[in-house]
Structure 1
């Protein structure tokens, strides 16, 4: 049974989102940031969420379990007219809630939003070694547009490739 609520984020989620982002940054190497990098305060998250509600090419969705946020995803677009037709997708889920199809639910919600708002292209970046995420995106018609070789230096010193993917409105 799916014991989670997936819903659009509100400004009232700012504190929990700030805390969740910091937690997830220290739990996984799949994201761009390491623990303590580019920390967003409650006030900064509130500003982001306000803009997400004002602009059609921005959106944030959260996954909630027992009244606690355990995951979120965002679509981030550009203000430049030539790029307003596409958005970049990103998601983060608390490690203790991995394997419960939250990534799928968050992705589905974001793709529905993109389709409803005629956003012609959804892009994302995923670490080449994140096999489960790569397969999920392929299952939702994302195609590989390219690879950034040796793009990320990991804590152990190894270099990881980043895969650039896109899904087009049909």
Structure 2
């Protein structure tokens, strides 16, 4: 297996992140966006990264291999009475599926959560994305419900499973 490097995103990564999101969006129908990527400018992405880097309960990791981004994962923390929770998101380029990158990113985010007093990690996953669900379950996530018709693509509705990892158990 070739080496890859996981590190926190910086504003100078913005342009490559935008290009990466367009690439990964065009490779799978499991994401909430397609090959158009996200409707965001480089400047807006730079500002987003600056803001996420300031927040104690949020992080954006990017995976680099041979100078290119091949994956990303984020924890988006909440504030005030929900500051013990964060929302998890992840994507990996299709050519790297099955190479352990998703697991490495998930482990990194769980470690970040533990170090920053995040007790619950929530995620939504298309309920037919069996590979992703298997990985989430392997790390202790459990299904807590289903959101019907979470998104609609080409006239077809897709349900998403809502999953949570409860890190409070490990503190007892």
TM-score band by shorter chain is over 0.9
2:145 counterpart SS class: strand
Q: Post-superposition shift, 1:10?
A: 1.6
Partner of 1:148: 147
Deviation at 1:69, TM superposition (A): 0.9
Q: Name structure 1 gaps, 5 residues minimum.
A: none
CA contact (8 A) 1:6 1:63 kept: yes
Q: Which structure 1 residue ranges, 4+ long, deviate > 3 Å from structure 2?
A: none
Match in the other structure for 2:159 = 161
Q: Which residue of 2 aligns with 1:114?
A: 113
Q: Which residue of 2 aligns with 1:137?
A: 136
Matches within 5 A, 1:12-161: 12-36=12-36, 38-79=38-79, 81-155=80-154, 157-161=155-159
Extract unaligned runs of 5+ from structure 2: none
- Asked whether the 8 Å contact 1:22–1:39 carries over to 2, the reply is no
Q: Across the two proteins, how many residue pairs are aligned to each other?
A: 168
2:106, 2:87 → 1: CA distance? 12
Give me the whole-angstrom Cα distance separating, in 2, the residues matched to 1:38 and 1:93: 16
The normalised TM-score by structure 2 is 0.92
The Cα of 1:37 is off from its aligned counterpart by 5.9
- Shift, 1:34, TM fit: 2.8
Name the CA distance, whole Å, in 2 between partners of 1:167 and 1:18.
29
Which segment drifts farther, 30-39 or 95-104?
30-39
Deviation at 1:2, TM superposition (A): 4.2
User: Which digits, 9 at most, give the CA deviation of each residue in 1:85-136, with x for residues without a partner?
Assistant: 1110001111222221111111111111001111011000000010000010
Work out whether residues 30 and 129 of structure 2, in 8 Å CA contact, stay in contact via their aligned partners in 1.
yes
